[in-house]
Structure 1
Amino acid sequence: MPEDPDELVDAFAVAVRAGDDRCIGLLLDRLKEVADLPHLIRLHYRLCGASVPRG
């Protein structure tokens, strides 16, 4: 399981798209421990298929 919050976001998005409930649960628990608001915003954009706004 990735330790880096950015890698967790990527892994979470892949698990959601694959419908892997077990992996989603494990990643969500870890994401809650290490992610800050910018990481959660990035996850939102990643899941919605949009680019993260810069600025």
Structure 2
Amino acid sequence: MAKAGSPKNTKNKAKHSKLMAQKKKKEREKKEAHKARLKALNEKIKLQNNISSLP
């Protein structure tokens, strides 16, 4: 027969899911910030090249 009372693993699974979601969110935000930084850097380089190429 099944155990009476609270289910065995639900608290730990919920905690693990929450922590993994936080980790994925942190990685995604870090990746987006890096992408934005590179995009800004590319824009800056393009502007410098346009200015220096003008006679």
**TM-score, normalized by length of structure 1?**
0.29
Normalized per residue, the structure richer in helix is: 2
**TM-score, normalized by length of structure 2?**
0.29
More RCO (CA 8 Å, sep 6+): 1
Find the structure with the greater CA-based Rg: 2
